Amino acid sequence: MSKLSVGSSPHHHNQRDTGAVMRLVMYACIPGILMQTWFFGVGVLIQIALCMVTAVVTEALIVELRKKNTERVIKDSSAALAGLLLGISIPPLAPWWIAVIGSFFAIALVKQVYGGLGFNMFNPAMAAYIMLLISFPVQMTAWLPPVSLTEQSFTFIDALNTVFTGFTTDGYSIEQLRVGYDGLSMATPLDHLKTQLIEGYTVGEALSSPIMSGNWGLGWTPVALAYLAGGLLLLKLRVINWHIPVSMIGAAMATSFVLFAADSSVYGSPAFHLINGSLIVGAFFIATDPVSAATTNRGRLIFGAAIGFWIIVIRTWGNYPDAVAFAVVLMNMAVPLIDYYTRPRTYGHKAKTSSIHNNEEP
């Protein structure tokens, strides 16, 4: 004898659940990760693996402690995604404990302490990145030059050794690896520009360095373009909305253009800012994190634009070369405010906040 089952409508459901959304974002990262690995070595993959494993294990442990359905929580893949995003932000040959501490911090303190997925105010990967950058500035800025520029070629075993012991199998330290063929320490393009500007060079002079070919940072440009491809795929699949990436990149371009037009010898061009650093990754993969971003369309435009603006401001006048993490976390704090003031006008209502003010009228 069967019993009829009852439930509330709708009975129809879009088959894309949280886990599917998170996994789609991870798949969309694949072109960027491959390109990053091509130019910066297998260290990239090691860091990603370290971060993802730590993040998932941390999440599982804490969820177990909180007596929730662990399997269900892990299946939503949000911890894995946070780990992945942190992994791609960490220098490929940074010591293993950087990734472990960062991922633990991201999941335990930024996410679970606030109540788990959906309740965290800040983007876990970016908050962890900032913590690492402030706590371990040397390790966190030790980006190797693109593989093609280094004298020593290193293998997977080398990378593994460097991550876990600090030295390659041949006994080179990470500092020695960073030295380019002209004996100068190699840096990221943004880092390079910043140092050169501080030392009194103009932008033009700085950009003539071997790690740059004009605006195009060697290695960095293809990586950025690969992430762009992934981001466009996410847009196409409607996993993310266009509002945040477009307004973020647009505002960054506009701000840098104003500065560049004012003095092109001191300020980088819009194109330079676009393809160097993590602006594109940030615009498509990080600022679009649903949990910590603004939730209304107008709010998303404001949120994205403010991030874009802050990125250029912090890159130009701040102490750190890149600023995506700072700008995103800064704007995460403003999300409740933005959401409150960008409420859409409900069908059949006059002004968008009428119902609130009605209560206050005498």
Binding-site ranges for other proteins (CB under 8 A):
1-14, 16-18, 20-21, 72, 76, 78, 116-119, 241, 290-293, 295-297, 343-351, 355-356, 359
In the bound state with other proteins, the residue whose beta carbon lies nearer, of 49 and 298, is 298
In the bound state with other proteins, the residue whose beta carbon lies nearer, of 39 and 284, is 284
Cα–Cα distance measured from residue 112 to residue 294, given in angstroms and rounded to the nearest whole number? 20
Q: Are 57 and 108 in contact (CB under 8 A)?
A: no
In the bound state with other proteins, the residue whose beta carbon lies nearer, of 174 and 291, is 291
Nearest distance in Å: CB 12, other proteins: 4
Nearest distance in Å: CB 69, other proteins: 8
Where are any strands of DSSP class E within 180-286? 212-213, 216-217
Nearest distance in Å: CB 245, other proteins: 15
Report which of 160, 284, 269 is spatially closest to residue 232, judged by C-alpha positions. Answer: 284
According to DSSP, the residues that pair with 173 across neighbouring strands are 167
Nearest distance in Å: CB 278, other proteins: 22
Q: Which three-class secondary structure state does DSSP give residue 173?
A: strand
Tell how far CA 49 is from the center of its chain: 16
Find tokens 């072109």 and name the residue. Answer: 31
According to DSSP, the residues that pair with 216 across neighbouring strands are 213
In the bound state with other proteins, the residue whose beta carbon lies nearer, of 236 and 349, is 349
In the bound state with other proteins, the residue whose beta carbon lies nearer, of 191 and 289, is 289
Distances (CA, A) of 177 to 38, 62, 103: 17, 38, 26
Cα–Cα distance measured from residue 242 to residue 231, given in angstroms and rounded to the nearest whole number? 10
Tokens read off for 249? 């990149």
Cα–Cα distance measured from residue 358 to residue 362, given in angstroms and rounded to the nearest whole number? 9
Nearest distance in Å: CB 19, other proteins: 8
Cα–Cα distance measured from residue 36 to residue 186, given in angstroms and rounded to the nearest whole number? 17
In the bound state with other proteins, the residue whose beta carbon lies nearer, of 14 and 153, is 14
Tell how far CA 303 is from the center of its chain: 15
The identity of residue 27, as a single letter, is Y
Nearest distance in Å: CB 310, other proteins: 21
Report which of 326, 318, 334, 330 is spatially closest to residue 131, judged by C-alpha positions. Answer: 326
Nearest distance in Å: CB 67, other proteins: 15
In the bound state with other proteins, the residue whose beta carbon lies nearer, of 7 and 171, is 7
Nearest distance in Å: CB 38, other proteins: 32
In the bound state with other proteins, the residue whose beta carbon lies nearer, of 24 and 283, is 24
Report which of 189, 174, 186 is spatially closest to residue 223, judged by C-alpha positions. Answer: 189
